[in-house]
Amino acid sequence: MTQEQAADDIIICRDVHKWYGDFHVLNGVSAYVRRGEVVVIFGPSGSGKSTFIRTINRLEVHQKGTIIVDGIEMSDDLRNIDAIRRETGMVFQQFNLFPHLTVLQNIMLAPLWVRKRKRSEAEAMAYELLERVGIKEQALKYPGQLSGGQQQRVAIARALAMQPRILLFDEPTSALDPEMIKEVLEVMKELAHTGITMLVVTHEMAFAREVADRMFFFDKGQIVEQGTPEQIFNNPQHDRTKQFLSQIL
Amino acid sequence: MSTTAQELERPQQQSDVGAWLRQNLFNGVLNTLITIVLVIFIPIVLFLIVRWAIFEATWQPVATNFRLLMTGRYPIEHVWRIQACMAIIYLLFGLSAGIWQGMVRTIGIGLVGFAIFFALFPFSVSARLWLVGSVVAALVGYFVGRPFSSKLRIPVIVLWLISPFIFWLLIRGGMLGLPLVTTNLWGGLLLTIILAVVGIIASFPIGVLLALGRQSKLPIIKWCCTLYIELVRGVPLISVLFMAVLMLPLFLPSNIRIDNLVRVLVAITGFSAAYLAENVRGGLQSVPRGQYEAASALGLNVFQTTFLIVLPQALRAVIPALVGQFISLFKDTSLVSIVGLAELLGIAGIVINQPEWLQVTGGVEREVLLFAALVYWFFCYTLSKISRRIEAHLGVGTR
Ligand SMILES: Nc1ncnc2c1ncn2[C@@H]1O[C@H](COP(=O)(O)OP(=O)(O)OP(=O)(O)O)[C@@H](O)[C@H]1O
Ligand SMILES: [Mg+2]
């Protein structure tokens, strides 16, 4: 079932385990993600999806197994963690924009302080990104003045400002009203065609069908099944997958 | 929707004053009683106070001792130095208000209010001219700062940073040809303001560092900060002042003498910092975890996360508490008269006991203390007004 590892896979996870106390939240996850691939992760609540993608940029620490991101092995070494975080951007369910900074400052922050770009350069790039996510005119507003959909698009622009190779999305549309979900998914679809690697935890199955190269089905801390949307939707192998799909489709 | 509803209701309410009174003042037996009692007593009390203030009170001691109350025994021929400091502060605030607008301008307006308030007092003509001059300095600063904001930004910051040394040099002297005025001559409102401002400015960074230290992952730092905070919060300010003034010399070698004022300043700063730390800690806890995660995900390091993301939000959340604390610090400075420094309240005590007022029936205590209270009130009220403006400006609570 598991896809074979290839030489230049951008994310390599081998037998990753994590416990919260006695609770075995990740129970031997092995996964390989190709460069430029769009992977949709889905599964029941509490199955460890968030925990899994958060181990990839070290928001969560895994306790056993190997994670290699773009050739850098995840360890306690702060330099490795910094290097991996420069390669990965993350978009959260709750946006997590910085409320005391304007939209523009939110986006320029990391380029200025982490990448040490010149202010003029960072600003030009920020406007370019805002144009890409379609809210250039909101640049000088504060996050609290924007709608949820606009905030999430700012969050995407902020993640892109670090020019990452990998974007991690943790249920980016779950906190949004239905009419705003579409505008965020549109932006994500655009991104998917740019060759950036994307890991998306979502239950937007129409999005998965259209955009995903592969899908991981998570259950009880494991990837129970993976495959192309075609395989997953039309010919799921495991009972758990079938059952879960029948519940959400 | 709701506005139209209000508009529909309002004319009715206005047309019926009786209904409003019934609803707000006479709803229920208890409220009716309270209303009646207050309606009778407030005018009577006000009338008695005003009658006393105009016809019976002896304001002579306040008027003749005005300079003493303001600057203590600071030599009269050097008072211009204090006035120069004031003018510099006003100029700097004017410049800053012009450059940064917003919050700084609010503070600037408050300061101009101070100057106008004091210009109404029976100062000498020259002192009033200085007050007006300070206001003019602020205005000039503002109108110079506004058009040249981008060019003046760095110089003004540098000026602010060196200004404490300029003030120290001017007020104390003993250098560059300025005669020395030792700190035991400083007094009155001047001393109150020095104690409060230095206490506030110095305790702020220390308090923030203590709060951060208390959250530290390193146990030694965490325990030291916690110990300090809890120790200081467990004793009254008076005892800290006594320790600084009376007991510290016992522990120091006899050839080392630290200025009394400096010791008191250290005590006040250390005391205030502990309370500030607890307030800031509340703010730190109010910053959601998502903010830390977003900062980490962007690759910000611990320092950047703390100073760019967490602290600005934490401090905003506790501005009301911080200002409340600064107000109480301002009032607590009155305790230093107990260890022999004659700040505003200390001088008031001296004035009350001056022999020339002994034959005044009933003494002059009430007048002098009322005056001191009025000055304290004006400062504290302005501080809290400024804080409310700052809060509104920052939109606290609109996350
Ligand atoms: N800090 C923590 N301490 C203890 N248990 C935790 C912690 N964080 C998460 N868990 C538990 O780990 C399990 C997996 O959590 P995770 O957030 O990864 O699930 P998920 O698949 O993303 O679910 P959802 O769809 O609800 O977001 C859950 O049962 C959760 O209660
Ligand atoms: Mg989740």
What's the confidence (pLDDT) of residue A69?
Answer: 92
Q: Tell me the β-bridge partners of A214.
A: A39
Residues 113-132 of B with CB under 8 A from A: none
Residue A218, amino acid: F
Is residue B67 one of the residues assigned to a domain?
no
From CA B173, how far away is CA B162, in angstroms rounded?
Answer: 16
B357 in the same domain as B243: yes
| pLDDT per residue as tens digits for the range A7-42 | 678 999 999 999 999 999 999 999 999 999 999 999
The model carries a pTM of: 0.81
pLDDT of B274: 93
Instruction: State the distance from the centre of ligand 2 to the C-alpha of B136, rounded, in angstroms.
Output: 61
Q: Shortest Cα distance from B397 to chain A (angstroms)?
A: 10
Amino acid identity of residue B7, one-letter, is: E
Structure confidence at residue B78 (pLDDT): 83
**Angle at the Cα of A110 from the Cα atoms of A109 and A115, rounded to 5 degrees:** 125
Asked which of B164, B180, B196 is the last residue of a domain, the reply is: B180
Nearest CA in chain B to A164: B298
Measured over all CA atoms, what is the biggest interatomic distance in chain A, rounded to whole angstroms?
Answer: 55
- Least Cα distance to A74 among A60, A56, A59 occurs for A56
| Residue B66 domain flag | no
Separation of alpha carbons A43 and A244, rounded Å: 7
The verdict on residue B172 lying in a domain is yes
For B192-222, give the DSSP string: HHHHHHHHHHHHHHHHHHHHHHHT-SSHHHH
Q: What is the mean pLDDT of each run of 10 residues along chain B (399 residues)?
A: 46 64 77 84 88 78 79 82 85 85 78 78 71 87 84 84 86 80 82 89 92 90 92 90 81 75 89 92 93 94 93 88 88 86 87 80 80 86 81 61
Number of domains, chain B: 3
The answer to whether A152 and A191 have CB atoms below 8 angstroms apart is: no
Nearest atom, ligand 1, residue A218 CA? 21
**Is the domain of B196 the same as that of B138?**
no
Q: What was the pLDDT predicted at B107?
A: 78
Strand-pair partners of A73: A68
pLDDT value of position B281: 92
Instruction: Verify that B162 and B145 share a domain, yes or no.
Output: yes
What is the structure's pLDDT at B180? 81
Contact indicator for B96, B145 with CB cutoff of 8 Å = yes
Size of interface A-B (CB pairs under 8 A): 62
Q: Are residues B266 and B343 in the same domain?
A: yes
Nearest to A168 by CA among A74, A70, A89, A85: A89
Is the CB of residue A47 below 6 angstroms from any atom belonging to ligand 1?
yes
Candidate from A24, A29, A47 with most ligand 1 atoms within 8 A of CB, to mutate: A47
Which of B290, B301, B313 comes nearest A94 by C-beta?
B290
Strand A64-69 and strand A72-73: the pairing is antiparallel
Within a domain: B222: yes
Residue B208 lies in a domain: yes
User: What is the predicted pLDDT for the residue at A129?
Assistant: 94
B280 and B313 in a single domain? The answer is yes
Cβ–Cβ gap A98/B291 under 8 Å? yes
- In a domain? residue B68: no
Quote the domain boundaries for residue B147.
75-180
Per run of 10 residues, the mean pLDDT along chain A (length 249 residues) is 65 93 92 92 93 93 92 88 92 94 94 93 94 90 92 94 94 90 92 92 92 93 92 91 88
Q: Which of B298, B301, B310 to mutate to test the interface with A (most CBs of A within 10 A)?
A: B298
Cβ–Cβ < 8 Å for A134, A153: yes
- The reply to whether ligand 1 has any atom less than 6 angstroms from the CB of A222 is no
The answer to whether residue B61 sits within a structural domain is no
Q: Is the same domain home to B321 and B230?
A: yes
Q: Is A89 on the interface with B (CB under 8 A)?
A: yes
Beta-bridged to residue A166, according to DSSP, are A88, A197
pLDDT (tens digit, 9 = 90+) per residue, B60-86? Answer: 777 777 878 888 888 888 878 888 888
pLDDT one-digit tens code per residue, B220-251 = 999 999 999 999 999 998 888 888 888 777 77
